[in-house]
Structure 1
Amino acid sequence: VSCAQKLCPDDWIFSNASHQCYYLSSRGSSWSEAEYFCNNIGGDLASIRISDENNFVNNITSGMLIPPWIGVYYNQSTNSWKNIDGITFISYWAKGEPNRLNGDCITYHSTADTHGMACTQCYDIQPALCKQAAATCNGGNFGGSTARKGTITSPNYPNNYYNNLDCQYMITSPNGTYITITFDPFIVENTYDYVVIFDGFENSTSKQIAKITGTPGRKQYETTGNQLLVWFHSDYIVNKQGWSAAWEAKTIMPPIYQNGSSGELTSPLYPADYPSWSEQLYFVTATPGFQVQLAFDYFQVEKNYDGLQVFDGLVQTPQFQVANLTGTTGIAPWNYTFSNNTFSLRFFSDGIIHNGTSNCYTVTTNSYTFNDGMNYCASIGGTLASITAASDRTFISNVTLNNLLPPFIGVTYNATANKWTNIDGTSFISYWVSGQGEPNLANGNCAVFKSVGTLSTQQGFETAPCYDTQPVVCKQHGAVCVPYNVTANNGTFTSPNYPNYYYNNLNCFYYITSPAGTYVAINFDPVLVEFGIDTISVYEGFQNSTGALIGKISSSTSPRSFESVGNQMLVWFHTDASIVKQGWSAFWTAKRGNATIVEYGSNGQLNSPNYPSSYNNFLEQSYLVNATDQFKVQATIVDFKTQANRDYLFIYDGANMTNDNLVANLSGLTGVAPWTHTFSSNIFSMRFTSDASLQYSGWNLTWTISFSADDAQAYCNSIGGDLASIYGYYERDFVMNFTMDMIVMPWIGLRRNLTSNSWYNLDGTSFLSWWSSGLYITIYFDPYLVEFGFDRIRVYEGKGNSSDNLIGE
């Protein structure tokens, strides 16, 4: 009752069978008015998807004098029955139905004589049975003492969220940090559904940062400390796509203040690398009565991810922002004169540690032609250097200053396009030396770099023949790793620069921590690395020692999976100095492991954990059945309910759980049970997995050894008996009670003599006839794929195929 009260609105009834809420109206209406009524209270006319849901609807409508409308109608265009909510229609007809003479809309009849769907005229006045999804939250605790970033979403995102939600998301970042959170997109019902953000875990008015509703566009907020609470509320009606929110931890840095007539400001730690995850504020108040001017003579940050915002005045709001500087080229020199004597800056960086241009250079002592120089640079993992910023020109000028011969750089003349280009595809920027008539195509179609002289105009490009032999300047991207140290339920990370090629000289470490009591399962897909040289190593815990190595990948391969024993895993990606490829992407999830369940003998039963109650999240449960030797084993699933496409039962022929042995991969709420399979031997195995989201009752499976009639007799002989004959009433009643709950009916010792066309007992006793009577037959068609309207199956009562005996078509 407590669960139902939390998951459903008042007066609605919760069903464990379908994880949905139901409402029976007390007033009557036509079918179309009933659907409108259900929409107005946050649902639809009920569809019925599984047999357990059919039983539930039968129970709650039992005894109703007027049967209620449900969400089924006959579609004249397709000549088929449809559910109004778009779910695939499954028939649960009452006796004598469907009879379209009575109408094309459906009510649900529940009487002592029959229960199920019945055709009714759509204009009849009936009550309504409404249905809506239960209010399932995906909130909880996120982040942790080492987590720097993450994402939270509304339940069921990017599909519509549920009604009647009150979900809380509690985010913790490392000590000494604060949290920024960005909602994008944000689409909820205006006024009635909303998100409230709190500074810390106390949801009091004094701690409230903001309240968002409607479709306000991208919204961003910050805390003062390392804890953030997000509360999402939805009412009982109207749901929309919802929202996604990315959060990051930022290192707390005290603001920098300067006063006077002049001064100097730098990024944190300059000229060394600035730290990742930083946010530094600067406030300058110059001498009153004057305007203040700001000038940059050096600017190198990661484009689009790190940057500097410049504000006219001390208030840092969008209307006062005059610049948002980011990138490594075309920024410095830059200057700006403000409207008065004050200005302020905000510097920010993400999780990538960036040092200047993040490029590495080498200048050869040997000389090469231009083409040979390109090949040499490629052989060591780089390209002939392009120069895309004044700082690059200054740097190369310094490192080539003592060269007697100017080196080739990655600049050549494209005769087809009639312009100079960088061979690495970057935008060409002209740094020709001045006063010497450059560029001069009469001298050649390639470029060298001249570094003689002290003036910048004397340092730059000169034309040269491509067949000359000169030293070369090679350049490659620096070994930049993206920090990854995450505590969560699951996640994804990639090689640096993925899906583009990764960099040379990498040693990147990725630290994963899953919740206590779980282990980590990781899958790499795709994997494209240099064979035998560039490697991905996976370790148990956070020590990259040989004894902790779980596995290693050192080639381009099909998807590879690894599992830890505990809740921590380390991934180490190493690359050498040459040859780069596309890299890899890895998805990992937390799993809750259990010892393999093993059964022996001639028959048995297996269940999902907690069955028939809901199984747990993060499950990884293995099963092994080793039945009696010399016989095949048959398995039958009689009940199956898991979250579709998220929670799976993998069934294997034999003890080895490999793709070659996989016979079934079962998932979903409908269309799975009943399921039966006879294996090739006396052994089969299974693996049941669940993710971090919805939970259902799971599954129930029975197994038994499977015989032909001759094998059955041989088996009974081997254990000292015969297939049983049934000689008297008491023996008949005993066998009937003994086998009553068996799903697969057993052989007995009765055969037909084909010559005399008479029945006899194998043990030689006199045959007595105990043929069954009073039974009926249930037949299932699954799958059913025939040409629509022309190919058909008809089912008749008895052996005649007259229209009077037709049961269904």
Structure 2
Amino acid sequence: MAGNGMIQSEGYPVNYGNNLNCSWTIRASAMEQVILTFSDVMLEDCEFCNCDYVQVLDGPDPSSPVIGTYCGENRRPFSVMSSGEALTVVFVTDASNEEGGLTGFRANYTSIPKCGGNYATMNGTITSPADLNNMYPNNADCVYQITVPAMYTIFLKVDRLILQDKSMETGCSDFLEVKETAMGTDLGKYCGEMDRFSVMTSQNTMWLRFSSDNTTTSQGFTVLWDVIENTRYYTNPTGMISSPSFGGMYPFNANITYTITLPAFKQVFLKFSVFDLEPEVVQDVASMPGQNCADLLEIYDSSGRLESYCGLRNPFSILSMNNSITLMFKSNLAINRRGFVAEYETIERNTVFTDYNGLITPPQYQGMYAHNLDINYTITRPQNEPILLSILNFEVQEPVNGTCLDYLQIGTETICGEQNPKTYIFYGSTSFRFKSDFFLSGAGFQAQYDVCNTTIMEDSGVLRSPGYPAVTYDNITCIYSLRQSQHRTFDIDFTKFDLPPKVNGMCDNYVKIIDPHSGDIEVATMEGGQMMKDTMLCGNRAPFNVTVQAREIRITYVSASGNNTIGFNLNFNITDIPTTTTPTTTTTTGIMTNRPTTSTTQAPPTSSTPGEGGPGTKDNTTSASLPIIIAIIVVSVLLFTVAVICIVKSKSSKNDSENLKILSVRRTRQSCAVLNPSYESNEELNRGELK
């Protein structure tokens, strides 16, 4: 017999006869095995099956090894499997059927590809042999050997495992056994019903054996394998690393190395968002060498081992001392958990700041500074420019026995623990250092620096009073020159203005906006609910805006005493003047949405030489309206008419002497200057130097 079929006792499902001795031999093709599934067994029940029985032999004849002998009543289906391509069934009855109503047996058979075998693919799936009811058979003994290229190890994921439960007396009767080789490292013997799990080899081979006894069967197992590199290299400036199978459970027997290498003079900033490893050693399972951890992540750089971690940890971060860092992850065979995931990024080994202001914080992750920090911060500005350094927030590990383990070192001062805001003043350049160990962490520090007496050439940016908004400095004067190469529009937007109020009508702390060409700029702002015009601004004012057309604007900040105020913050934006607009000096006041606004426009006076002011000429006009503009236009037309008449008269006086011509021109220009004060004289004409 071959393929699929059915056998049954004589007379089934009616009573079978006495003194029977029947046999069936089932043969499959080469490289196949036979599975025989009993759907019904109802025989005389005698001790040791000495009366009536059905016996299954593992081979083609009655002398083959016995797989199982069955008697009594068993209506629950069960299966047996041959180890080769043949199976023999023997049915024997005695001389009497004392119980009556016994129907005998019925069984179905099928042939399957021989279980077990050798696999050399990079990935694949293995399932337990199954009968027609999708249950694994009794007497199964399948061996699987997986081999992959030498540079890889094998990652085995057990997707389904439902076997006969483990017995207290005999242990696992049906089991899946995993080793690195047949005689190599034992990676576990698994039975019963288990959730998904995974296991790794430390080499490129894996050996599996599935075995079942002759009693209870179940649904079996499904495993998947893939290759994995035990050493992983990362060279990108940013990236992510994780334990194998992150999102599920990491495998048993993991041993993986991660190496991150960045360009010279960089540091690796590693941020762990999830960290969940087995914390403690369980009974009969050895701990990691030299450690109290069951599963372990060790971190190294060129200086040696930095730290090792296990258990469940809140998010944390760590910084390498140089441009390379190595992580080694190891797990045992007891308990697996979620594992870890970490992102990394590149950090400058020494951080240099050159802008006119800036914010400085240590590398942080989720509000906590990194372990193993040793960073130097340098602020460099032109010589003699004051640098005002403000430590706004400070919270690091408290000193231990009077010694700071995590600290900020500024000059000769070392600070740790929790500190109130601190202020420092340096000139030209300064450096300071922050260092942390591997234990406690905290919020760290937030430092801010601002440069005084500086020239800013940028088209846009932010200016603030030193220390804004946490601290104010006493007895300082800061001048910020916003300078451009040509006349442009300066838009200055004060988003916050909180200085001490006037005392006896005078501002001790104030801000002035100055056009170096025309002097202090008068600004209209809201103060105390009233519109006020000032050139010296102090007190608490609603947000306001100043617009000026100039080549350079100077903002002067004088602080005598802060008096619980926070200073000012402004944004500036410099744009080109529209070419269709004739430069004028005007001041306009308007109300912007949700806040009062003063817009001030300034331009240099007209010059006889482009780009230069005429001698002794100064434009004192501070405001204009539409009627005034119309009046100016009318006066200009009249002046033009007078000039034409003057020229006509001059040409008609042919008999006048040269001195009379000069006198006439002088008087004409003087009369023009009376009508129009902005009219510019020509000194060469006034001196009589006509050609």
Q: Same fold (TM over 0.5)?
A: no
Q: Which has the higher strand share?
A: 2
TM (norm. structure 2) is: 0.28
Look at both structures and tell me which one has the larger radius of gyration over its CA atoms.
2
Q: Relative contact order: is structure 1 or structure 2 higher (C-alpha 8 Å, sep ≥ 6)? A: 2
TM (norm. structure 1) is: 0.25
